[in-house]
A and B are shown apart, each in its own frame.
Chain A
Amino acid sequence: MRTCQITACRAAMLALVLLCATAGSAVAQWLSVPVPGTPRAADGKPNLNAPTPRVADGKPDLSGIWRADTMRYNDNLLPPGTQAPMLPWAAELYKYRVDTRGFDRPMTFCMPHGVPDAMTVAGLPFKILQIPGETVVLFEEFHKYRQIHTDGRQLPVDPDPAWYGYSIGRWEGETFVVDTAGFKEGSWLDNSGHPHTEALHTTERFHRINFGRMDLEVNIEDPKAYTRPWKSDTLHFLLQPDTELLEHLCENNRDLQHLQDYWQRQQQAVPPATGKQ
């Protein structure tokens, strides 16, 4: 009886806290939605330092809404002070993109960031849904998604090139390893403009450190653009508790005309002849 009373009291307190968190406008409710399964302190606040959650088979569960802890990775995937080992054509194209301040990056034309930089847009979070046989990544940016198959299939042979490529995932201990290939040219590896070709093969290593933090290292292999494989900086992600993704589309792209008009007037805005293969 006493246990029951205490439980009821705690439930009532939690309900009060959640009511507080969701009080306000309809928008505030959508932005602040208590997510079941979130570990909480006695005051009801999410405990972001709680242990890594796990799925039924004991593997870490990467599910949740995440965002990068800084825009730095989105600007440049490499560790500060380092350079990617680019082949001459790639170096020339990269220089052009830097010199023209990235005016013609895919997003200017309402195309999304790709692999891995769609996860590094700090202002637009992403949601991971880890379910048996598949891990789905939902990107707030332009309402896009990515599928990582974990059902044991292999990467397709001679696939039709795709913006996000084709992804398979496996667990190596506590690390979720994702191999992706079959990319289409067009996406940039970061906003600085590191290019890639259809030969790109990325290997992402996700590690959820605790409930609130997740790290990722990416290996970039593209023998048609780089002299050797190279690694990204360690990317840090922060869980966004008790919230939801919002809509982001490209319905009013005023920037395209401004950017094209301005840069077409600049003599720089002529792509290098060897820039594209």
Chain B
Amino acid sequence: MKARLAILMCVASIAAPGLAVAHHSFAAEFDENQPVKLTGTVTKVEWTNPHIWFFIDVKSQDGTVANWGFEMGGPGQLLRAGWKRDTMKIGDVVTVEARRARDGTTHANAQNVVLNSTGQRLFAASSQGQ
């Protein structure tokens, strides 16, 4: 029991807190005053630097479907925040809290992602505030 607790504490101690970062200006591309919370099915994940992008199909009340793209931090920042490259897969249903792009398109900067199947909430290394 003690050993299990020790391992848990040990793992907790090495899980670095997520740090936001951006290679570009958050405020120039996204609007912190336009929060969106969307649920949809993952259609694509680009696990790439300098930013990971993923896309989800969001169904509206009238039945139409819109594909939204979300930016997160880079792989390094997400790995440090506890992600793995296969944490979110095509077909997964996720709920995303994000800030919408200034240009009014269906792009946004993700703040956190909830995997609906498990309820796991993951920090998205957003660049907000930079």
Contacts and interface: CB of A to CB of B under 8 A. Distances in A.
Contact of A248 (B11, B19, B27, B49): B49
B50 A250 contact: yes
A148 interface: no
A47 interface: no
Given A20-B7, A23-B7, A27-B79, A258 B25 contact: no
A74 B129 CA distance: 11
Given A27-B84, A243-B16, A259 B29 contact: yes
Interface centre among A107, A124, A243, A250 (most CB of B within 10 A): A124
Given A20-B6, A27-B84, A105 B24 contact: yes
A250 B28 contact: no
A73 B107 CA distance: 28
Interface string A61-101: 00000010001001100000000000000000000000011
B77 A250 contact: no
A107 B77 CA distance: 17
Contacts of A142: 23, 50
Interface string B1-29: 00000110011011010011111110111
Contact of A251 (B49, B76, B107): B49
A64 B105 CA distance: 43
Interface string A246-277: 11111111111011011100000000000000
B42 interface: no
Given A101-B28, A110-B23, A259-B28, A254 B51 contact: yes
A105 B50 CA distance: 15
B130 A103 contact: no
Contacts of A252: 46, 48-51, 53
A143 to B, nearest CB: 10
A75 B71 CA distance: 20
A274 B21 CA distance: 32
Contacts of A243: 16
A259 B77 contact: no
A101 B103 contact: no
B48 A108 contact: no
Given A246-B76, A259-B28, A259-B29, A254 B71 contact: yes
A17 B84 CA distance: 23
Nearest to B103: A262
A124 B25 contact: no
A254 B80 CA distance: 23
User: Is the interface on chain A under 10, 10 to 19, 20 to 34, or 35 or more residues?
Assistant: 35 or more
Nearest to B80: A31
B73 interface: yes
B101 A258 contact: yes
Interface of A: 17, 20-21, 23-25, 27-28, 31-32, 45, 67, 71, 74-75, 100-103, 105, 107-108, 110, 121-124, 140-142, 191, 240, 242-243, 246-256, 258-259, 261-263
Interface of B: 6-7, 10-11, 13-14, 16, 19-25, 27-29, 46, 48-51, 53, 69, 71, 73-77, 79-80, 84, 101-103, 105, 107, 125, 129-130
Given A21-B14, A107-B24, A252-B53, 17 more contacts: A25-B84, A27-B79, A67-B19, A103-B25, A110-B50, A121-B21, A122-B21, A141-B23, A246-B79, A246-B80, A247-B75, A255-B24, A256-B24, A258-B29, A259-B24, A259-B28, A262-B28
17 contacts: A21-B13, A31-B14, A103-B24, A103-B28, A107-B50, A108-B24, A110-B50, A140-B76, A142-B23, A246-B79, A248-B76, A250-B49, A252-B50, A255-B71, A256-B24, A258-B29, A262-B102
